[in-house]
Structures are given as C-alpha cells and as structure tokens.
Structure 1
Amino acid sequence: MLTSPSSWMIWLIVATVVPPLLITLVSIYPVRRFAYQLGLVAHPGGHSTHVNATPLGGGIGIWLGILITFAAATLAIYLAQHDPSLRSRVPAPLLPYLEGASSRMGQLWSLLAAGSVLVILGVTDDRRGGVNPFFRLLVEFAVAAYVVYGLGFGLTAFIEIAWLTNLLSVIWIVGLINSFNMLDNMDGLSGGVAAIIAASMAIVMLTTPDPETNCPQVLVAALLLVVCGALLGFLWHNRPPAKIFMGDGGSYLVGFLVAVAMLMATFAGNDQPRPHAMLAPLCAMAVPLYDMITVLWIRIRQGRSPFIGDRSHFSHRLVELGLSRTQAVLTIYLVTGTCGLASILLTHVGVWQAMMVIGIVGCMLLLVIILESTQWQHNDE
C-alpha cells in the first residue's frame, strides 16, 4: 500500500499521464489514415511554412485521450465507492479524495462537454478552411460565459467586485484559447509548450494546499496531468517532420482546459498569505501570451487584419534571426520551462522573493524583445 506523499503522488502521475498518452498515440493513427477522406488536410501555401500536404485532426486524438481517460476514471470512482474490495485497493492517501471527486463529476463532465463544443468548432474550421472569425469568437465567448456563470469557475484575484472578476475570467478563457491556437505554427511547438505548462501547473497544484482542506488540489492536478499525457501522445506524431497537425480543434480544447484548470485552482495556501501566488498562471503562460500580444501588435501596426494568419509569430521571428525551425522550437521550450519553474517557485516564497522571481521572468522576456527588435524594424520597412 502506498502511504508516503511521494509514493502516492507518483502513482497519481502515472495513472493520469500514461492512459491518455497511449489512447491519444493509438487513436491518431486512424485519424491520419482517413484525414484526406474527411477533408482534414493542411495544404502548403499562404502563411503556412510546411511544404507537403499534411493531415489535420490531431486534436481529435487528444480529445479522445482526455475523454476516454475521464470516462474510465468516473467508472472507477463509482465502483470504488460501491465495492469495498475495490475500495481497499485504493492508496490510503487518495481515499479522502474519492468523495470530493465523485461530487464534482457533474461539473467535470459539463466542462468536457463545453470543450467538445470547441473541438467541433475547430474541426469544422479545419475542414472548411476558415469559419467566420466573428462567429468563432462568439462561440468561444459563449462557452467561456457558460463555464464562468453556469459552472461557477472564476478568478480569485482578491477583487471584491463580482462582475469584474467574472468578466476577467471570460476574457482569460477566450485569450488562452486563441493564444494556443496562434502558437500552433511549427512542428511540435504548441503541443510541447502546452505540455510544459500543464506539467508545471500540475506540480503547483500538488504542492499548494487548498486553504479549506489543507490538502493538495488533486482534482485540478489530475485534469492538467491528463491533458499533459494526451499532448505527449500527440507529440509522437507531431515531432519533426510532423505526420499530423493539431488543428484548431486540438488547440481550442487544450487552451480551454488549461485556462479553466487555472480558474479552478487556488494559488495561496492557508499557512501564510501569499497574494502574489495568483500571478503563477501568468508566469506559466508568459510565452503563449507574449506570442499572441506581439503578433496582434505587429499586425495592427502594419495595418493588417488581426484575424488573418501570417508569419509574424515568435517562432517565425526566431527563424528569421537565423535559427533553424527545430532550434526555434527548442528555444521556446526552454523559455517556457523557465517560466514554468518560476510559477512553481512563486507559490512557495514570500513577497520579496516573489518580486525577484517575477523580475527574472520579466528580464527574460525583455531580453527576447531586445534580440527581436532588429527584425521587427526590418519587417516594418
């Protein structure tokens, strides 16, 4: 029986990462095979940098990996509650979480249903080559509003104005959906960055106790770890040269689940107040948000539509500076990993140390901006 904190956490990580990894890895093979018949193909040309027709729909495999894993978990929790012999096999440290997980299964499946709407939207976009951007935003805002107002997930930003925190929560969800979608522009990029962020925030959840229970936030950590596992299974197919792309369906789903997981979480433990810990999600998400903000700034500054894709992304700019595509992706991985480590530290240090951690993230982004400034000036000419 697993009794020590380290042993049951390892058991939890294996149980939540391995199944979605295998399910996604296997399920993408038929998607790749039938992608052309389904009309899920990305053709070279336009703002795309790939040179061969490549299947889309990797997000379908990610969606299946997440959905099937949680279906199995729901069944296991139900059986463990009603079968004493099965219950006896559950690691003792996880027994207190059975009741809590069971009580929140309704919310979880409502969340997965909302994510499935985004998958349908994204796959439709992939098939038709472009859903109207305003309709796409309307659906994204509607799904985000359902999660915030219908399911009750929202920011705990120490702002005692309910309508403002709700509005910021909706904007946060829509922003992250689009940030991951915009980051999906090179082999292994969006999936790898999302996996690093999900893993970082899962560690935060397992090491930051809920103020009400003083226990690790296992449910939120499990959600993030399942997402991470599905992404790792997808990356097997998406590693350079990519055999399949994530597509809008996958990037919408991943951005949505990561965004909502951060809203479900509590970042300040009850041992001592750490209001700065609420900045942990921003640190973890620094790279996707930086990419989205700078791309929109470049497009608007050059008088182009912010909704039309181009090659002004962070990864493309690194390539224009002289890096290979693989080097650019690995560089972004490194920056994301550093920001992820900073987010973990931020939840465990005092105010003065937190200022230094945030300063490190700020200096890193400023260094990137300085290195890129020459290329931006060249693009503006």
Structure 2
Amino acid sequence: MNNILLNGGILIFALLIAVTLEMMVLPRIIYIAKKKNIFDIPCARKSHRNPIPRLAGISFFPVLLFVFSVCVLILPDSIVISEPALKRLLGLITGNLLIMGIGIKDDIVGARYKHKMVIQFLASVLLVVGGLYINDFNGLFGVGEVPFWIGAPFTVLLAMFIMNAINLIDGADGLASGIAGVALISFGVLFFTRGLYFYALICVILVGILIPFFYYNVFYPSRKIFMGDTGSLTLGFQLAYLGVRFAMKTPDSNYELFNAPVMIALSAMFIPLFDALRVMVGRALEGKSMFLPDRRHIHHKLLDLGFSHRKVMVSLVLCACLFVLINVLLMSVLNLNIMFALDIILWLGMVEVLNIRLKFIREYEERMGHPVRVKQK
C-alpha cells in the first residue's frame, strides 16, 4: 500500500513538472515560429483560414525526456525497479530522435513522403530491436502466441501505421491531442493497475505535456499553435511504444489481469487507426493511391456538416472514451472476436450515418441553390 501511494505521488509530481515546463516552453516556441515565419499555410484541404505557427511538437520529446530523467534521478529506487529492460527505453529514445529529425525538417522546409516513411521504418525497427514486439494476439482472429519472425515485422508495420494515423487525425483543433490524451490516460491507469509504474510515468508526463498545448491550440486564438508533423509523429511513436508494451506478454507484466490486452491497446487508439484504415481501403478500391490527401476522414465529414472545430474535437474524443470503456467493461463478458466485430460495425455505422446526412444536405443545397450548413468558427 505504501509503495502504491509513493508511486502515485511521484506520478502527480511528474504531471505538475511536465505541465509547468511545457507552459514555459510553448510561448517561446510561438515567438520563434512567428519571428522565423514558420507557419502552417491554409489550403483547400485544410480547415484553418490564417497562417498558424506549427512547431509545438518540437518540445514534446525533450520535455518528456527531461522530466522522466529528473524523476528517475530523484527517486532511483521507486518506479524504474519494475522495468528491468534498459534496451526498451533506449528503443524509445533513439526512435524518437529519428522521428523528431524528419518531423522538424518537414515542418520547416518540407520533406518527401518517401523519406518520412524510411525514417518511420527505421524508428520502428529500433523499437523492436529494443525488445518490444507483439508476441501474443490473445485469440484475436483465432491467433494466440506468435514467434518473433512474425511478431517483429507486424510490430514494425503497426508502429508505422499508428504514427501516420495520429498524423492524419490531426485536422481539427485539439483533436489529435485530445484523442492521444484519452489513449495515454487509459494506458497510464492500466499500467499503474498492473504495477508497471515505469510506463505509467511516461503516460503521465505526456499527458502533462499535452495539457498546455491543448490550451493554446483550442482556447487561446491569439496565440494558437499547431503541433506540426514533429508533434503528431513523435506522439504517434510514443503511443506505438506504449501500446506494444501493454499488449506484449512478459513474465513481469501481470498479464493475468487482462485476458485481452491487445484488444484494449487497439481500443485506446481505435478512432485514428480505423479511420485511417477505412480511408486507405476506400482509396485503394477506387484505384487511387492510399496515401493521396483528401477530405474523407471522419473529422472532415463533421466539418463539412457545419460542426465547429471544438464540436468535432469533443464529439470524437467522447467517442474515443466510449470505445475504451466498452472494451474494458465487456472484455470479460464477450468473446474477443465478437467484441472486435461489434467495434467495427459501430464505427462503420457512425460513418455511414454521417455519409447519409452529408448526401441529403448536398442534394438539398443543389435544389435550393444556396448552402444551408452552419458556418464553421
């Protein structure tokens, strides 16, 4: 009991330090971005109308590493004892450095998509080399334990997909950070429950970093800032790292507490992952490139219906919470594959409702000769 209270206190301390440090750093990043004219320029595919600074993500990993190191240095015998594998942490650090490099390049001068994919592949390989990979599907699709030669390449592809999914969902104010926050809080609580305080600490620090960003991005119009590709890609890599670790079966992870950790890890990131998958499959079925930018994503549909950025963010963040709660509560009641099928049906049903509504409004506008949708704010 005393150990739980001590570790809980450390997590609160880490959260406060992360929030304070990020609140100090972000205004300076905004100043530099404006001084050097580093803006996200509006275009037909984007929903903002004015140039917005986009370098917030440059602070995410440095603040994480600093606060984490401070906590470990101050209390070396508390949290880190539960995680003996230093290689797993090095996989996070080295992979993030690569992702940060290509993200900064893309935000400042632009980067080719192929170059970004190569860096994402290398970073994902480093994650696996560090000792993290999906080694058990818990019966999903009838698959149990899998050997390294299957689990490793699957994990590399999954990590790359998660990074790109977070990047693609970053299309409305507070959306990527809000959904990532839901996933991080979910992982943090579940890691804490399993006694994996090392990873709970990472989750808490990232939540502390996202709180000030969320404030500036959503509630401070005169000093609004975007996380940019640096932020969305590093955040995606960190979520991939945490999700794979949560799903991985190891002797020290109290695996028996959850009979389907893979499903819970998926549910925490369900909306960005399956929205990206839906869009990519749709493009492929039409004979188009799966990576062709368009406005098929769920947040684009809501914006086209006249939802404000804030309403889009609130709606999808609440949906993300709903998927996590449904899967955690029903995990011990329903068969894993039935639960997965219900998730997919629920998601596709929600998308189809939006498609029908959009089609109806467009047809009505054509008949009336003028728009009826509410103007976005």
TM bucket normalised to smaller: 0.7 to 0.9
What letter matches 1:295 in structure 2? V
Partner of 1:134: 114
Partner of 2:312: 328
CA distance in 1, matches of 2:24, 2:186: 26
Unaligned runs of 5+ in 2: 137-143, 363-377
CA contact (8 A) 1:66 1:226 kept: yes
Q: Which of 336, 339, 349 is equivalent to 1:367?
A: 349
CA distance in 2, matches of 1:357, 1:15: 37
Residue 36 (structure 1) shift: 3.4
Aligned-residue identity in percent = 21
Indicate whether 1:227 and 2:206 are aligned.
yes
Describe the shift of the 1:274–1:224 C-alpha distance in structure 2 as closer, same or farther (beyond 3 A).
closer
Partner of 2:184: 198
CA distance in 1, matches of 2:38, 2:348: 39
Residue 375 (structure 1) shift: 6.0
Matches for 1:27-176 after TM superposition, within 5 Å: 27-77=25-75, 80=76, 95=78, 97-101=79-83, 103-105=84-86, 107-129=88-110, 131-148=111-128, 150-157=129-136, 158-176=144-162
Partner of 1:84: none
CA contact (8 A) 1:339 1:361 kept: yes
CA contact (8 A) 1:345 1:357 kept: no
Q: Which of 312, 324, 330 is equivalent to 1:340?
A: 324
CA contact (8 A) 1:177 1:254 kept: yes
CA distance in 2, matches of 1:261, 1:271: 15
CA contact (8 A) 1:204 1:344 kept: no
Describe the shift of the 1:40–1:305 C-alpha distance in structure 2 as closer, same or farther (beyond 3 A).
farther
Describe the shift of the 1:20–1:104 C-alpha distance in structure 2 as closer, same or farther (beyond 3 A).
farther
Listed one character per residue, the Cα deviations across residues 245-278 of structure 1 (whole Å, up to 9, x for unaligned) are 0100011111101111122225777585854332
Indicate whether 1:19 and 2:17 are aligned.
yes
CA distance in 2, matches of 1:142, 1:48: 29
The 3-state SS of whatever aligns with 1:374 is: helix
CA contact (8 A) 1:284 1:343 kept: no
CA contact (8 A) 1:25 1:236 kept: no
CA contact (8 A) 1:28 1:234 kept: yes
Listed one character per residue, the Cα deviations across residues 293-344 of structure 1 (whole Å, up to 9, x for unaligned) are 1222343445543334332221011122343322111110110111222344
CA distance in 2, matches of 1:345, 1:16: 29
The 3-state SS of whatever aligns with 1:323 is: coil
The 3-state SS of whatever aligns with 1:195 is: helix
Describe the shift of the 1:353–1:231 C-alpha distance in structure 2 as closer, same or farther (beyond 3 A).
same
What letter matches 2:125 in structure 1? A
CA distance in 1, matches of 2:185, 2:201: 10
CA distance in 1, matches of 2:287, 2:37: 33
Residue 153 (structure 1) shift: 0.8
Residue 8 (structure 1) shift: 3.9
Q: Which of 274, 287, 298 is equivalent to 1:290?
A: 274
Describe the shift of the 1:311–1:71 C-alpha distance in structure 2 as closer, same or farther (beyond 3 A).
same
The 3-state SS of whatever aligns with 1:48 is: coil
CA contact (8 A) 2:29 2:56 kept: yes
Residue 65 (structure 1) shift: 2.0
CA distance in 1, matches of 2:256, 2:292: 47
The 3-state SS of whatever aligns with 1:287 is: helix
The 3-state SS of whatever aligns with 1:186 is: coil
Describe the shift of the 1:56–1:271 C-alpha distance in structure 2 as closer, same or farther (beyond 3 A).
closer
CA distance in 2, matches of 1:261, 1:272: 18
CA contact (8 A) 1:20 1:233 kept: no
The 3-state SS of whatever aligns with 2:171 is: coil
Listed one character per residue, the Cα deviations across residues 198-219 of structure 1 (whole Å, up to 9, x for unaligned) are 1011111122x3xxxxxx1111
What letter matches 2:196 in structure 1? Q
| CA RMSD, Structure 1 to Structure 2 (Å) | 2.8
Describe the shift of the 1:277–1:265 C-alpha distance in structure 2 as closer, same or farther (beyond 3 A).
closer
Describe the shift of the 1:363–1:298 C-alpha distance in structure 2 as closer, same or farther (beyond 3 A).
closer
Listed one character per residue, the Cα deviations across residues 214-249 of structure 1 (whole Å, up to 9, x for unaligned) are xx1111111122112111121121115471001000
Q: How many residues align?
A: 349
What letter matches 1:371 in structure 2? V
Partner of 2:231: 250
TM-score by length of 1: 0.82
What letter matches 1:229 in structure 2? G
